[in-house]
Structure 1
Amino acid sequence: MQVAQLTKYDKHNLKLEMVAVAPPQIADHEVLVKVTAAGVNPLDNLISRGEIKLLLPYKLPQTAGNEMVGIIEKVGKNVTNFKTGDRIFARLPLAKIGAFAEYVAVDAKALAKVPAYLSDIEAAAVPLTALTIMQAFELMNIQAGKTIFISGGTGGVGAMAVPLAKAKGLRVITNGNALNAERVLKLGADQFLDYKTQDYTQELSGVDYVLDTLGGAETEKQMSVMKKGGRLVSLRGMPNGEFAKRTGLPRWKQLLLGVAGHKYDKLATKYGVHYYFMNVESNGAQLQEVAEIFNQKQIKPSIDTVYPFEQVNEALEKVDRGHSKGKTVLTFSDVK
């Protein structure tokens, strides 16, 4: 079978190599999946650059790709909740990624069944982003009726976060290019701010939760619009000591990240808020909850560009350029 592998960490060259390998063998707790589509994410490029190898030290060569949808072709003897022929999707376990492949062996605990109304391409856009949001909501300890600000909410994360936040009963505010305002408001946003003409630090105050998709100087700006005791989860900031302890990293990494993330902890103290960094993990039960919300709300993921698997490097370049209006997806067959 063909896989797309990372063979060398390189900040200046994101290209993966197409390699022929034997199909994987499954363990008793795993299933063998024929991949039909895979989501392409900024995370894939972060891994290739080696920017997060302190957190995720993959031994190279490593088949790339973090999320996929496909059909189960074989089940391990200890798997009881899935069967051959099931259409499933997953954010692959951190320790065993490899979605950019024609077949993948996956721990059944990472899987969920795809809502019937979603195409494979649409389904491939869901797992990583949706689980990121659900796990961010857990860290925020969200309560219905309160307000969340989703920064830069016109891309793939925002397109997923807005309807999920509404499904959880939150008041949703986001910002971005005004050209996308109508689309985002249709997703359920209660308020949209044009980042070119409206400064959210002047428009907002007393926000309960923030999902920070921007990082950099924007993280402090977002803290400034929050109420005391508010919770900010950053997808683009710096891991800190709290993150290291929460995820069970070794003591030396806890100390290192405690130093690295001190700037953000200091800012959080300044504004009287809580700062969290997260690295989304596989969770089939949580993804099944997402699938049920999708079925109830008939949510349609936003798709930007679709590439055949053979053009994986073009897809990675597309994601790296940014300014997406949704998810970039790879297809492994003539799916719709």
Structure 2
Amino acid sequence: MKAALHTKYNKNNIALTLSQVDKPVAKANQVLIKVTAAGVNPLDNMISRGEVKMIVPYKLPQVAGNELVGRVEAVGSQVTNFKIRDRVFGRLPLDSIGAFAEYVAVDSAALAKVPDYLTDVEAAAVPLTALTIMQALDLMGAQAGKTIFISGGTGGVGGMAIPLAKAKGLTVITNGAADSAERVLALGADRFIDYKTEDYTQTLKDVDYVLDTLGGAETEKQMSIMKKGGQLVSLRAMPNGAFAKRMNLPKWKQVLLGLVGSKFDKMAAKYGVTYHFIFVESNGRQLQEVADIFSKLEIRPSIDTTFSFDQVNEALDKIANGRSRGKTVLTFSEK
């Protein structure tokens, strides 16, 4: 079968190698999926550059790709939750990625059934981002009735985070460019802040939770608007010791990341809040909860561009260098 491979880590070259590899066979706890679409993410380029080696040291060559949608073609002997022809989607387990291929064998615990109303392209845009949000809310211990600030909520992450946070009973505040205000409010945001005309650090206070999608200087700014005891989860800043311990990384990595992330821990202590970093993991149960919420609200993820599988490197370049108003997705031709 055809697959796109990471063949070497290279900070200056994110291109994958298209190659023929053996079609996988499902183990007892796995299903074999014929891939119909795959989400393309900044994470895919980060892996190629070697930027996540500290967290997940892949042995190269490695089939690339972290999230997919497809149809079940074969079922392992221990699998009871899926059957042949089911349409499923998932964020693949960290130690066995490989969505950029015609077929993938996946642990059934990583998968959920796709809501009927979503197309395959739309469904491919959901797992990684939606699970990031669900796991961030869990890490915060988010409770209904409290307030969350989602920075830069006009992008793809915000498009998922706002309705999911609302479904969990949170009051949602976000910011971004004014031309997206109407769309973001329609997703359920309670308040929208135009970043060009309003400084949120001057008008917000006592926020319970923050989802930091921006990083950089914005991380500390967001801490300054929080209530004492508040919880901030960053998608863009640095891993810390608590993250390394939660991921069960080796002790030396826990020590090293503890030093690397100490800047953010000290910053958080200054404001009386807790800093978390997240690296999303597969979780079929959480993804099924997302699918149920999506089905109830009929949420449709924003799609920016679709590419054919043979154009995978154009898609990765788009992620690296192009401005985006939604997800980039690879599609696989039917055979």
Change (3 A) 1:196 1:323: farther
**Which residue does the alignment assign to 2:98?**
98
**Which residue does the alignment assign to 2:228?**
228
Mapped to 1, the partners of 2:221 and 2:138 lie a distance apart of: 23
Q: Is the 8 A contact 1:72 1:86 kept in 2?
A: yes
Give secondary structure in 2 for the equivalent of 1:137.
helix
Q: CA deviation at 1:334?
A: 6.4
Amino acid at match of 1:218: E
**Which residue does the alignment assign to 1:218?**
218
**Which residue does the alignment assign to 2:32?**
32
Mapping for residues 108-127 of structure 1, pairs under 5 Å: 108-127=108-127
Deviations 1:154-178 (A, max 9, x none): 1111100011011111111111111
Q: Which deviates more, 242-251 or 319-328?
A: 319-328
Q: Which deviates more, 77-86 or 316-325?
A: 316-325
Amino acid at match of 1:139: L
Q: CA deviation at 1:298?
A: 1.0
Mapped to 2, the partners of 1:228 and 1:50 lie a distance apart of: 37
Mapped to 2, the partners of 1:121 and 1:102 lie a distance apart of: 15
Q: Is the 8 A contact 1:155 1:323 kept in 2?
A: no
Amino acid at match of 1:300: R
Q: Is the 8 A contact 1:67 1:90 kept in 2?
A: yes
**Which residue does the alignment assign to 1:133?**
133
Deviations 1:176-212 (A, max 9, x none): 1112111111111111111222211112111110001
Give secondary structure in 2 for the equivalent of 1:311.
helix
Mapped to 2, the partners of 1:98 and 1:177 lie a distance apart of: 35
Mapped to 2, the partners of 1:182 and 1:261 lie a distance apart of: 37
Amino acid at match of 1:153: G
**Which residue does the alignment assign to 1:175?**
175
Deviations 1:205-243 (A, max 9, x none): 111100011111111011011110000000111110111
**Runs (5+) with no aligned partner, structure 1:** none
**Which residue does the alignment assign to 2:333?**
333
**Which residue does the alignment assign to 1:318?**
318
Give secondary structure in 1 for the equivalent of 2:172.
strand
Mapped to 2, the partners of 1:98 and 1:199 lie a distance apart of: 42
Q: Is the 8 A contact 1:30 1:75 kept in 2?
A: yes
Mapped to 1, the partners of 2:129 and 2:305 lie a distance apart of: 16
**In the comparison of the two structures, how many residue pairs are matched?**
335
Deviations 1:253-298 (A, max 9, x none): 1100100000000000000000000111100011001111111111
Q: Is the 8 A contact 1:6 1:61 kept in 2?
A: yes
Change (3 A) 1:329 1:283: same
Give secondary structure in 2 for the equivalent of 1:216.
coil
Deviation beyond 4 Å, 4+ runs, structure 1: none
**Which residue does the alignment assign to 1:240?**
240
**Which residue does the alignment assign to 1:190?**
190
Give secondary structure in 1 for the equivalent of 2:209.
strand
Q: CA deviation at 1:323?
A: 3.3
Task: Give the alignment's TM-score, normalised by structure 1.
Answer: 0.98
Q: Report sequence identity in percent.
A: 71
Q: CA deviation at 1:322?
A: 5.2
Q: Does 1:269 align with 2:266?
A: no
**Which residue does the alignment assign to 2:154?**
154
Task: Give the alignment's TM-score, normalised by structure 2.
Answer: 0.98
Give secondary structure in 1 for the equivalent of 2:317.
helix
Q: Is the 8 A contact 1:234 1:278 kept in 2?
A: yes
Give secondary structure in 1 for the equivalent of 2:60.
coil
Give secondary structure in 2 for the equivalent of 1:148.
strand
Mapped to 2, the partners of 1:260 and 1:275 lie a distance apart of: 13
Mapped to 2, the partners of 1:7 and 1:179 lie a distance apart of: 41
Mapped to 2, the partners of 1:41 and 1:152 lie a distance apart of: 17
**Which residue does the alignment assign to 2:298?**
298
Mapped to 2, the partners of 1:331 and 1:183 lie a distance apart of: 27
Give secondary structure in 2 for the equivalent of 1:209.
strand
Mapped to 2, the partners of 1:235 and 1:308 lie a distance apart of: 28
